Each structure stands twice: as structure tokens, then as C-alpha cells.
Amino acid sequence: MSDGSDPDVILFGGKGGVGKTTCAAAAALRLARRGVPTLVVSTDPAHSTSDVFNRDIGARPTEIDDPLYAAEVGPEEWFGRRYSDRLAALLDKANRLGFDVDGGDVADVTSEGLVPGADELAVVDMFATFASDRRWGAVVFDTAPTGHTLRLLELPDAAGAALSKLVTLTSGVDRVTSAASRLLGGDGGRADVDLGDDIDTARARLESVSSLLADPGRTEFNVVTSAERMALDETRRLYDELRDSEIAVGHVIANRVRLDVDEQCDHCTSQRRRQMTLLSEFESDLGVTTHRIPSLPGLDAAARVDAIAEDIPVPGDD
């Protein structure tokens, strides 16, 4: 297993469909081949890690090939596991006593089991949980498409709003159950479910995640793109947002680049010229060098991950 220190954290983000999952899986595989206990976590609602590894993967770390493990976790599922059951118990307790918690607050919880900002709160909790698990030497996150990734940078504010809603809910239930206790006598009306410790823990995790995302000594954000104009334009925006948020960009990875083509194929050579022109302009604009991954036509998902793992950049490369 790991040496007992906190794991390195590597995030892969970018536009939908550019190959983030493939790149994240390949990086995790390369680290594992070096003997690093590695967990790759998909937080993208359109999970495809199971496909690239050809395994059934759930919310708990699933062994792919020791020391490589994988997990696919949705924010709603994580939030439900952490909070929803206890919130439901609190609300049920109040309602059985004949009291109503504020209707708007109840609706927030009962509508899909979530409160505003709950998905962000869940991602914070998920991120902090895996990134502090010393069983791993590295944790690789396959994030959702760019819009969701940018929300990751705003997690403290969004998740803070969710925490405020939880505090309001629990305070409301505490008030009505305490009133019931006074009316009924004894402690029969007291709430027997407490979210206070969970909320305090979540607050602490907000702070730790903010610090971790901004720590280049532990965290690296790799931006994945393709050599197409729309993808590169979106990548520019993501790169600028990361830089403005003082989050270290490790590598910009251009996926499916026509590096080796049949010179007798006019379409192939034309496509390669167009891609190289776009990548050169992109690199010049941002002052970066892209790591280019060949298109590798004809390979299935698992074989492609295996091939990309040969040279995809990871922490520890010379």
C-alpha cells in the first residue's frame, strides 16, 4: 500500500467527449504499474470507467489489478449516503409530533432528496474523503464536463449555501421537537438524530479542499482537449479559470491527434495539417506546450487505455 503520507491528487477536466476518462484511466494505470497504490474516481454522471476497464464498478473502490482500483460515484448518491436518511428521520420525527417544518425547506429535501448546493457539498465531501485516504499513493479524478468542472472551483460558496440550508432544517426540527418535549414531558419528543457533527465536519472539509486545490505540491489539474477549434476555445476558457483560481495546471493534453498518417491519404494529411495549425495557434496564445496523444484508430477502449499509459504524463516523471 502507500507509505502512509497523503496521496497525490490528479484531476482530469475538459469538454465532454474529448477523452477525459481514457486519459484519467491511463494515468492511473501508469502509476499503478510503477507500484503506486492508485484509485481512479469518476464523478462524471455519464460514468464510463466501467467501460474502459471492462468491469462493473460501483461507489466503493473496486480492484482492477492490484494496486489499481476504481470507483464511480454520483453526487446524489454520495449526499444521500451522508445526509438524506438522517434528514428524512428528522423531518419524520417532527411530522409525527404534529409540527410542520418550513414547507420550503421540506420541499428542498423531498424533491429528489436534495437541498440547494447539495451536489457541490457532496463533491467536496467525496473529494476530501478520497484525497485524505492514506491507503492510496495517488487519487486520480475523472471530472464532469467543463461547466461542472468550473463549478468545482466555486465549491466553497456553493457548498456553503447547502450547509446553511442544513443548519436551517436541523434548527427548525430542533425547535419543534423541543417544544413537543416540553408539552409531552420527559424526552419523548426530542430528536434522536443529530446532524451537528456532520455539519461541523463538512465545514472543515470545505476549508481543506480549498487549500488542497490550490496546493501545487499535492494537486495537479490536467486539461484534456482535442485538436478541434470548438474544443480548443473551451479549453482556453477552462485554462484561464484555473489560472485565475490559482490552481496549478499540470499538463494540457491534446487527445486523438493525427501524428502518424498514410502520406498517400490526402484526407489524412489534410486533417493532420489542420490539427497542427490549430494546436500551434493554441500553444502560442497560452504559452504552453501540449502533450499530444495519437489517434490510435481501431483500438477498443481497454486497448487504447493500455497504449496511452505508455507515455501519458504523471507525477514523478523525470
What pLDDT does residue 280 have? Answer: 98
Q: Identity (one letter) of the amino acid at 260?
A: D
Q: Are 71 and 60 in contact (CB under 8 A)?
A: yes
Please pick, among 44, 105, 108, 119, the residue that the annotation labels catalytic: 44
What pLDDT, in 10s, does the model give residues 245-289? 888 899 999 999 999 888 889 999 999 999 999 999 999 999 999
Q: Please provide the DSSP assignment of 54-103 as one string.
A: TS---SS-EEEETTEEEEE--HHHHHIIIIIHHHHHHHHHHHHTT----H
What pLDDT does residue 189 have? Answer: 42
Q: Please provide the DSSP assignment of 240-281 as one string.
A: HHHHHTTPPEEEEEEEEE--S--TT-HHHHHHHHHHHHHHHH
Query: Of all helices (H) and strands (E), which one includes residue 120?
Result: helix 118-131
For this structure, is 44 an active site residue? yes
Query: Of all helices (H) and strands (E), which one includes residue 142?
Result: strand 138-142
Q: How far, in Å, CA of 305 to CA of 25, rounded? A: 7
| Residue 176, number of CB atoms within 10 A of its CB | 20
Domain ranges of the chain: 8-76+121-153+217-308
Q: Identity (one letter) of the amino acid at 116?
A: P
What pTM did the predictor assign?
A: 0.78
CA angle, 270 then 233 then 152, to 5°: 135
What pLDDT does residue 128 have? Answer: 83
Cα 256 to the center of its chain, rounded Å:
23
What pLDDT does residue 276 have? Answer: 97
Q: Are 12 and 25 in contact (CB under 8 A)?
A: no
What pLDDT does residue 179 have? Answer: 44
What would be the CATH architecture of the domain defined by 8-76+121-153+217-308?
3-Layer(aba) Sandwich (3.40)
What pLDDT does residue 171 have? Answer: 55
Residue with cell 467536496: 124
Grid coordinates representing 200? 461541523
Residue 181, Ramachandran bin (φ over 0: left; ψ between -120 and 50: alpha; else beta): alpha
What pLDDT does residue 47 have? Answer: 66
pLDDT in tens, the chain (318 residues): 456 688 999 999 888 889 999 999 999 999 999 999 999 998 876 668 998 998 899 888 999 999 999 999 876 677 666 655 555 555 565 555 444 544 444 444 434 444 555 666 677 778 888 999 999 999 999 987 665 555 555 655 555 555 555 555 555 555 544 444 443 344 444 444 455 555 566 667 767 777 888 888 999 999 999 999 999 999 999 899 888 888 889 999 999 999 988 888 999 999 999 999 999 999 999 999 999 999 998 899 999 999 999 999 999 886
